Amino acid sequence: AKHTDGLLVHGFTTAQYLRDVTLPQVEAGLAASGRTRGAFTVSYPGLVATGVDGAGVADAVLAVRKQIAFYGATPAYRGVLDLHGWGDLHTELHRLSKVGDWNTMTSLIEDDVLNTFAVVGEPKAVGAEIVRRFAGQVDRFTLYTPYELDDATRAQIVPDIHTA
């Protein structure tokens, strides 16, 4: 933050990690350069699992679990899991990734992990939850959907974020 005008946060983060780790580092860099937070843009592509109906949400949840498992296996991202007390999950995901057992990895992403890393739900509820979690922390939020999300569903979410 000392020499830049913004930060694109990695999608494998959580509201708590932003609050406790990322943003304090941003603030320190801004202070060191004599700037304020208003002169800096934090952009976050947040994981979202939603769909037009229950089956669509279920498919999205599976895709997001897979994405979380993939990132969770990466040693560089262990710190996010450690912050939440899930360091052992990283160890197991990393081990399984070495043998290519992606199905087991996906099955290890339990609901508490899923719901901490992703906003999950029907389109009308998702926008409000994004705002609740990230207002005041990020300036720009992009829907990170590692699955096909149709424009009509996206259109139900985005206005709720913009009006916040």
Q: Quick: pLDDT tens for 55-93.
A: 999 999 999 999 999 999 999 999 999 999 999 999 999
Our CA dihedral for 95, 99, 103, 105, rounded to 10 degrees, sits at 10
Q: Quick: pLDDT tens for 11-47.
A: 999 999 999 999 999 999 999 999 999 989 999 999 9
pTM: 0.94
